[in-house]
Structure 1
Amino acid sequence: MRPGPTGRDYRQALISLCLLAGLGWALIFWSLSNMSSPLVALTMPADSFWSVREIVAVWLMWAVMMGAMMLPSALPILAVHRKIARHRDPATPGASRWFVAGYLMGWALFSAAAAAAQWGLQQAGILSHMLRLESPAVSAAILIFAGAFQFTSLKTACLNKCRTPMGFILTEWRPGRSGAFRMGISHGKYCIGCCWALMLVLFVGGVMNLTVIAVLTTIVLAEKVLPRGDITARIGGLVLILWGLALII
């Protein structure tokens, strides 16, 4: 097995991800600070009869938010990919950029599903204009479901893939730009499988709630990079279940 990524790899990966994630967070801050802007208004349609512009705006909002939330936890896998690509695929400059592009493509596809969920909840009349669930029963169900998912074998399997970047790179390696792009999509698939239920909690706390966004980002990061992220995941699951039960009570 090749040695792990060097400090230089981590620094370069960190700079790259900070720029991308920083852009995403800047857009989130701007949106929350300019709620009266016509552009922001497009992401919060007044009814369920969405125009094409509103569909695109809602999808972009979710895509930007997912990128900002997930990129920090992608630092280990990007650093490893840069290290391995430099040795195994020196003829493909910038391969890691294509890896990140594939990773973000996966979350962009998930964002389409999230936008559809937003429309469905709005169609049901249980989503406020600030994109927060107004039904305690539905909120409790989502919290308990998301909490229970943290204890499932699917969660564990996907989390293990996210927590072992070297193993993923060595077993899933593909050369060239298209290969790096497909690897990014593949890793994004595991990341989505690990975190999709947690993202549902955004509807409970409020999709436009910065505190909720920041807390979920921290949980995802802790699960993937802390020494015992599996325990962190289960603790988070227990908290969500208790929160859901409290809403019922």
Structure 2
Amino acid sequence: MRLPLVVGGSAAAWALLCLDRAGWVPAGLCSTYSQAPLWRVSPLELASHWLPMELAMMLPLALLPLAFLHDRSLARRRWRAEWAFLSAYLLLWLVAGGCLQVLVAVLRGYLATTGTALAVAVALLWQCSPVKQRSLNGCHRQPRLSAFGLAADRDAWGYGIAYGRYCIGACWALMLLPLMVEQGHLFGMAVCMLFALGERLETPAAPAWGWHGPGKALRLLWRLTGASARVRMARGI
């Protein structure tokens, strides 16, 4: 899976979401914020609501495992391995996305005034939990992969299932937040995606209670910003 294809798929999904928010997409093709009662929404509609968001946010999170598959697979089998991984990973997130939408509908329906605050509290609590760190550790696992035949396809599929499971464990509470809001929905999605990408740069750690976040990415950004400011000052800009 080449980088331009993954990035292009994510960019296309972002473009579709932006067109949807502008009202330029036919009704039913994509909806980032559905207010229909839960019992009137079919599983297919739930999938259509979630799929563009999934491709926009989750494809970039698959770049590192796809790079691992690319390096560990025979040249003639790379595309098969990468597609097997992606199909398993995205299928798992598709199911998780449907469950998240059901949870959001319940929160909106029964906790209309406090649902968003509860989602924020759950996200913060999960962010500090040992299970969150265990899930992040799992995202770094690189399994042994067979080189030939059906065993290679099976291992690539299994890697997609395993990575998807850990990715859902790390991100599910975070993904509640943009689903709960209408104003600033796409901005919230972008922030959550960047936050999750930054978390992937952290090294594995012992699961324990404490804040788990993209500290390394923020420090790198701070250094780059400081270096850019010093260059501008040196040039008298």
TM range (shorter): 0.7 to 0.9
Aligned with 1:233: secondary structure? Answer: coil
CA RMSD of aligned residues (A): 3.0
1:121 paired residue number: 107
Indicate yes or no: 2:88 matched with 1:102.
Answer: yes
- Correspondence for 2:74 among 86, 96, 118: 86
Q: Aligned-pair distance for 1:205?
A: 3.4
Please tell me the residue identity of whatever aligns with 1:213: M
Q: How do residues 217-232 of structure 1 correspond to structure 2 at under 5 angstroms?
A: 217-225=193-201
- Segments of 5+ residues of structure 1 without an aligned counterpart are 1-11, 127-134, 236-249
Aligned with 1:94: secondary structure? Answer: helix
Which deviates the most, 30-39 or 222-231? 222-231
Please tell me the residue identity of whatever aligns with 2:196: V
| Closer, same or farther: CA 176–217 of 1 in aligned 2, 3 Å | same
Distance (Å, rounded) in 1 between the aligned partners of 2:124 and 2:19: 31
Percent identical among aligned pairs is 23
- Correspondence for 2:19 among 14, 18, 30: 30
1:44 paired residue number: 34
Indicate yes or no: 2:62 matched with 1:74.
Answer: yes
TM-score normalised by length of structure 2:
0.74
Distance (Å, rounded) in 2 between the aligned partners of 1:148 and 1:21: 29
Q: Aligned-pair distance for 1:61?
A: 1.6
Distance (Å, rounded) in 2 between the aligned partners of 1:145 and 1:51: 25
Q: Aligned-pair distance for 1:36?
A: 7.9
Q: How do residues 207-246 of structure 1 correspond to structure 2 at under 5 angstroms?
A: 209-225=185-201, 233=213
- Segments of 5+ residues of structure 2 without an aligned counterpart are 216-237
Q: How do residues 85-234 of structure 1 correspond to structure 2 at under 5 angstroms?
A: 85-86=73-74, 93-124=79-110, 126=112, 135=113, 137-162=114-139, 164=140, 167-170=141-144, 173=145, 175-206=151-182, 209-225=185-201, 233=213
Whichever structure has more helix as a proportion of its residues is 1
Distance (Å, rounded) in 2 between the aligned partners of 1:76 and 1:228: 15
4+ aligned runs moved over 3 Å, structure 1:
40-43, 45-49, 90-93, 203-208, 226-232
Distance (Å, rounded) in 2 between the aligned partners of 1:198 and 1:42: 16
Residues 73 and 221, structure 1, Cα contact 8 Å, conserved in 2: yes
Distance (Å, rounded) in 2 between the aligned partners of 1:93 and 1:22: 21
